[in-house]
Amino acid sequence: MCGRFALSMPSDAMAQLFKAAPANDLPILPNYNICPTTQIHVIYRESEQDKGQRRLVPMRWGFVPHWYKTPSDGPLLINARAETLAEKPAFREACRARRCLIPADGFYEWFRPEGGEKLPWYIQPSGEGPMVFAGIWQTWEQNSERLTTCAMVTTEATGRMAEIHHRIPVILQPHDWGKWLGEEGHGAARLMQPASDDSLKFHRVGKAVNSNRASGPELIEEIEE
C-alpha cells in the first residue's frame, strides 16, 4: 500500500504541466509528509456535458463509499487494488467513470527486516518530473455534509520494490495521463501495471517520518543503512 507521500511542486506549475484549471483552495505546498484523510492535489476531467476540461482540485485522501453514513462509518479506503477495482462495490463505478491523477515527488514505504523494526524508505522517479499515481474519486453526501474523496490504485510490486513491500501504487507516464482520464477511449485497465526498476530509485530515510506530525524536506534525505 501507499500511506504517505511528498509533494513540493507549486500549484501553478502543476496546473500548467497538467493543462488543468486550478481551484482557489488547493492545499499548501511543499508538504513532505502527506497523510491519509488530508486534502491532496488531484487532477480530474469534467464530464463532456461540462466541457470536459481538466481541473486541479483538493480532494480528501480516503475514499468514502456512498452508503457510509459518516466518513468514518467503515474502513479507511486510501488504496484500491487494481486486481479487484472493477468488481468491488465501493470502487467499480468510479473505476469506469471517475478516474484521476495524483501527483507526488515520491512516496514512503516501510520494510521490516526479520526480527527487526520497520524502517522507512523513500521511492521516487529516476528521471525528471513528478511521480503521478492512478487514482479514483467520488463525492460523498449525507444530510448537509459533502466530501469529494479519492483513493490511489495499487498493484502487485515486482523487482526491487517487492523487496521493500509487496504492493506499489500504479504510476502513470505522461503519455498515459489522457488515457487514464478517459480522454482517449478505452484501454485504461492495461495501464495498471507495476513500474519497472529502472524508472524508480530507492533510499532509506530517517524514522522521523513515522510520526504524522513530522514535516520538512529533511524527511526525504538519504541516511546510511
Which member of 2, 95, 100, 150 is catalytic? 2
Which member of 35, 83, 95, 109 is catalytic? 109
Q: Is 35 a catalytic residue?
A: no
Interstrand relation of 39-45 and 131-142 (parallel, antiparallel or unpaired): unpaired
Interstrand relation of 4-7 and 31-34 (parallel, antiparallel or unpaired): antiparallel
Q: Is 48 a catalytic residue?
A: no
Those residues whose C-beta lies under 8 Å from the C-beta of residue 139, and which sit 6 or more positions away, are 146, 147, 148, 149
Cα separation, 122 vs 171, in Å, equals 15
Hey, what amino acid is at 46? E
Interstrand relation of 119-125 and 200-204 (parallel, antiparallel or unpaired): antiparallel
Residue 207 has, within 13 A of its CA and on its CB side, a CA count of: 6
| Length of the chain, in residues | 225
187: left (phi over 0), alpha (psi -120 to 50) or beta: left
> In the chain, what is the straight-line distance between the N-terminal and C-terminal CA atoms, in Å?
23
**All 3 cell numbers of residue 8?**
513540493
Enzyme catalytic residues: 2, 109
